Chain A
Amino acid sequence: MMAMAELLASGQLWQGEAAASRVTAEERLATGWPWLDQQLLAGGWPPRALIELLVDAPGQGELRLLSRALAGLAEDRRWQLWINPPATPYPPALRAAGVALERQLLTLDLSPALALWSAEQGLASGSCSLVLAWLPHLELAQLRRLQLAAERGQCRCFAIRPAALACQPSPAAVRLQLQRVAGGLQLTLLKRRGGWPLPPAIWPQVS
């Protein structure tokens, strides 16, 4: 028993689902869809992590998904930083979804280098609860930097990237592909912490 505890503490033994689901109640952030919460094993979006959302075009339903995360952190007094959103988010709709408007910080029309800098500053500062970054051109090392910055600043980073990058490797903790289909929003978990990739599932409630 003693040896087992030591192995676990030193990180040499992979725990799979158990490790991923070890999240405190304060850290839990629901996605808004119980099925997805269950599949992500952390009861929702994993804390201190880079989460990749892969979408074909803006407006697939990614902001609907993200607005639940933003609303879930409305009590947090830290910033929610948007990096280079492709269009203007509409405040009355966000407010109706429960988002705290006074906590939102938007950066617009940044060059790729400046966007990456702003994202990293926000993540590592520890004064953001969430960073939403539309960063299409990122190299593997840059993604890794974002992941490390998210861990350092105890922040979740959502990177919204083109679906064409689905087959590229990525250090993100979760990779989720979104696709609009006839019955609703189709989610494909390409990667998750502590589990296998999952076949596509359709979230019917999303209009």
Chain B
Amino acid sequence: MRWLYLHFPALALDTLLAGHPVEGCWALLDDNNQLLQCNDTALATGLRPGMALAEALALCDELQALRLQPAQDQQALQRLAEDCYQLVARIHPDPPRGLWLELAAMARLQGPPATLAAQLTTQLQAQGYRLQAALAPQPWTARLLARAGQWLIDDNELCLTQRLAALPLTHCELDPRQLERLQGWGLQRLGQLLALPRAEVRRRAGAPLAQWLQRLEASAPPSVPAYQPSPVFEDRLTLLYEAEQSEGVLFVLQRQLQRLQLWLRQRQLAAGSLQLELGHRQLPATCLRLASAQPDGIAANWLMLARLQLARQPLLAPVCWLRLRSQTLEPLQAPAIDLWQAASGALSPDQLLSRLQARLNPDQLQGLAARPDHVPEQAGLLVAVGERGGDYGHSGRPLWLLPQPQPLAVPWPLLDGPERLASQWWAEPLQRDYYRALAPDGRPAWLFRTAGGHWFLHGWFG
């Protein structure tokens, strides 16, 4: 086995800044106003993690400091594991900011471990992550070297042994008391400790150090659980600046949708609907549902729908974070496009429907259905689009029907009739005599007289 350990010293900050053209000093703070993570400009100015905010501001008065949200590192690590899963099958996340990747098993697919390691690290660096990496047959050795800042990914056994032996004990993250004891023996380098007989070490320094050494040299997989890909897509991103306009939200959403597109393509799925949560600082989060009439896996189409939906619903408050979740997923199917009519259309009928649904309110978009019923109001219905009614036609009916019959004082000249319509015996009693009549301006109209002798206008034939 070949374990590549990736350590991200500033994971949350790098995730936050990725994709933004960032200038100036940025840092993340903990609850005690101590610096946790700094970007490169901040490091070059002399800021260091662990510094107090007051001291940092004295060094750099243009520092942009953000507070680290709980679980921000965790979420970023999950995203990274998801990204790496494209190339590597076995991933053990090491919270808060590390990943173990097993590369030897992927050799037939992705090439020798050294090549794959180089590819992975280059890819992550191109995305804006700063990282420390080490490749070793033993997972804990890789971890130790990576965290000590030894860049070693060429899979060379001799080089590995030399680097390990030369590693100062102060970089080994040992318990301070043990470190002091080892230094008291005159040991400075890890190689000197490894050269001692193991039984002697156990007797003189205690079981914990012996176990530490044993773990370091063991090639068994790390005991932390391996990464399991999630059955639903979920992505949460914190915005660098609070977005007051929908354009700012769409900019970040575009990145999330790109991830969604990749995620869907890898699984040969298409999304039917998505849930988008917009987090505000004080108000509860706004929840939007994006739906497509035809399951879709293309980021640009979803972005269009989100743009329309945001045009309909203005933002209630500035947005701090976004969470995108897939709601319904379906197997990817090639769209059935009519060969002869495809040339004319930029959109399929379902895409047009999705677009209208995203922009209009649900009651503003309707379909038509007819069903056999004596009562005219119930024979013709407005239904949700896509819903099928019965197949019922009647040539003696008007083309326009008024939503409510309008009372008429005097009937108009009658042309044709009567046709008596009554409701079924179990329903509310209703008896109407319908006539075709001519309105004063010459339009043919549909009137009825109730059993009580009152006249009503119910529709137009034109």
Contacts and interface: CB of A to CB of B under 8 A. Distances in A.
**Interface class of chain B by DSSP:** mixed
B444 interface: yes
Contacts of B344: 126, 153-154
Interface stretch (B118-126, B134-142, B145-153, B400-408): B400-408
Contacts of B461: 59, 64, 207
Contacts of A207: 444, 461
**Interface class of chain A by DSSP:** mixed
B441 interface: yes
Interface stretch (A1-9, A86-94, A165-173): A86-94
Contact of A58 (B345, B349, B356, B460): B460
Interface residues of B, number: 52
Contacts of A181: 442
A93 to B, nearest CB: 4
Nearest to A65: B462
A37 interface: no
Interface stretch (B76-84, B207-215, B374-382): B374-382
A1 to B, nearest CB: 32
A121 B355 contact: yes
Given A58-B400, A90-B398, A126 B346 contact: yes
Contact of A60 (B347, B360, B369, B462): B462
Given A63-B400, A87-B401, A101-B369, A125 B346 contact: yes
Given A92-B393, A101-B368, A102-B388, A87 B349 contact: no
Nearest to B373: A92
A122 interface: yes
B352 A121 contact: yes
B303 interface: no
Contacts of A114: 359-360
Contacts of B341: 76-78, 126
Given A101-B369, A106-B366, A114-B360, A95 B400 contact: no
A113 B376 CA distance: 33
A180 interface: yes
A38 B398 CA distance: 28
B251 to A, nearest CB: 23
B379 A105 contact: no
A138 interface: no
Interface string B358-394: 0110011111111000001001111001001101111
A126 B337 CA distance: 12
Contact of A122 (B352, B444, B445, B462): B352
A87 B368 contact: no
A47 B348 CA distance: 20
Interface of B: 338, 341, 344-349, 351-353, 355-356, 359-360, 363-370, 376, 379-382, 385, 388-389, 391-395, 397-403, 441-445, 459-462
Interface of A: 56-64, 67, 76-79, 86-97, 101-102, 104-110, 114, 117-118, 121-122, 124-128, 153-154, 180-182, 207
9 smallest CB-CB distances across A and B, nearest first, come from A126-B345, A59-B460, A95-B393, A96-B393, A180-B442, A91-B370, A91-B380, A59-B462, A96-B395
Given A87-B403, A121-B352, 19 more contacts: A78-B341, A79-B353, A86-B400, A87-B400, A88-B380, A89-B399, A90-B401, A91-B379, A91-B392, A92-B397, A93-B397, A105-B385, A107-B364, A108-B366, A110-B360, A122-B352, A125-B346, A125-B355, A181-B442
17 contacts: A87-B402, A89-B401, A90-B399, A90-B400, A95-B392, A96-B395, A101-B368, A105-B385, A106-B366, A121-B352, A125-B345, A127-B351, A127-B352, A128-B352, A153-B344, A153-B346, A207-B444
